[in-house]
Amino acid sequence: MSYLEYNVARTPAGLRKVLAMHWALVLLICAVAAIGFLVLYSVAGGDWRWVAPQMQRFLLGLAVMFTVGMIPIWFWRNVSALFYALTLVLLVAVELIGSTGGGAQRWIELGFMRLQPSELMKVTLVMMLAAYYDWLPATKVSRPQWVVVPLVIILLPTLLVLKQPDLGTSILLIAGGGAVMFLAGVHWAYFATVIAAGAGLVTAVLQSRGTPWQLIKDYQFRRIDTFLDPDSDPLGAGYHITQSKIALGSGGWTGKGYLQGTQARLNFLPEKHTDFIFTTLAEEFGLIGGISLLTLYLLIVAFCIVSALRMKDRFSALVTLGIAVAFFLFFAVNMSMVMGMAPVVGVPLPLVSYGGSAMLVLMLAFGLVQSAHVHRPRAQGEGRILRR
């Protein structure tokens, strides 16, 4: 045994796990969060009222990520069904005792914070589906009777979230759950059927407008109208996206400069610290700033995918890939939304938008990625740092 190997062997097991964390991923997450702090400071007009609590939540989130990452991945596989069931109970509790904000009933008051169970479901749904396909033999994945089970697992929380109403999160749950099913090997014909059914559902939704059986709320129809023609009501339903486009376009290549964004600082831009925070960044740092943030996001997704491809067990790989896809959907939908390429559905920009539940749940998700990375089987000579 060499001197280095001797010293590694004497290192406490906990420290060895910390050293085995995916530190490149940690640094990327911290870099994105730091950008969020800078932008929040700017949209607050040089005030710390949003930055300070966001920093506290991020530090708590880091602690959650490292704690989850230290726990063996098999533990998270074994408790996936329990976590999924508890989150379903929380979604039902939202219907019974949830607090209301902005015309929607989505939160549970805990005193020190407002918990949004639909955010937690984005992670527990991936865990549950990954555990299901880890248990199910590969030869049965595409058999109809075994495809119905994950569909029920996806639709139960989706219907509860849609009732709040939260169309954006409902879409993300369906897309994220469908992605895990696809990655698990479910035959493409099922997805073609779902896409065809989805087209039929969209048609039914549009046809239901103004009828006694109207399928979505009036304000959601206004969002669709705004998406199709925001200039038809620039001071009403189209105000948000119109101001967002003005801010995006005025930033140019390099932006107006830090703390110089007029749309945000003069309060023309609505929801500037949550859903539309990307427009503030683009106005002050321009196209270069927007692409830089997008690059960091894509690197996070890429590192998760590479890590998943090196994993030996099905649950770890599916959880990591599922979280990577979910994370991609978060920022892709938000950026598309504020650029007018998708309807405004109220999806925050991950690690950047102000918010407690979204931040903590996302860090929990990255903790699962770390757990899978730290505890994956290693090739001979690669995993000495984890050897007891």
10-residue block means of pLDDT along the chain (388 residues)? 45 73 93 94 84 92 94 94 94 83 73 80 95 93 92 94 85 92 92 89 86 80 74 68 80 83 70 82 90 95 93 92 94 88 81 86 94 75 40
Residue 1 lies in a domain: no
Domain tally, the chain = 1
CA distances from 68 to 18, 135, 365, 375, 379 (A): 11, 22, 9, 12, 24
Residue 260 lies in a domain: yes
Residue 6 lies in a domain: no
Confidence (pLDDT) at 384: 41
Specify the pTM.
Answer: 0.86
Residue 205 lies in a domain: yes
And the tokens for 146? 């075994």
Non-local CB neighbours of 89 within 8 Å, separated by 6+ positions: none
Confidence (pLDDT) at 363: 94
CA angle in degrees (0–180, nearest 5) for 122-366-295: 95
Confidence (pLDDT) at 94: 86
Relative orientation angle of helices 357-374 and 314-338, to the nearest 10 degrees: 150
Confidence (pLDDT) at 13: 66
Confidence (pLDDT) at 329: 93
Residue 7 lies in a domain: no
Residue 74 lies in a domain: yes
- Is residue 98 within 8 Å of 110, Cβ to Cβ? no
C-alpha to C-alpha distance for 355 and 274, rounded to whole angstroms? 7
Residue 26 lies in a domain: yes
Confidence (pLDDT) at 10: 52
- Is residue 33 within 8 Å of 300, Cβ to Cβ? no
The domain in which residue 85 lies consists of: 13-386
CA distances from 133 to 49, 83, 328 (A): 44, 17, 22
Residue 339 lies in a domain: yes
Non-local CB neighbours of 376 within 8 Å, separated by 6+ positions: 73, 310, 311, 312, 313, 316
Tokens 């408790």 -> residue: 79
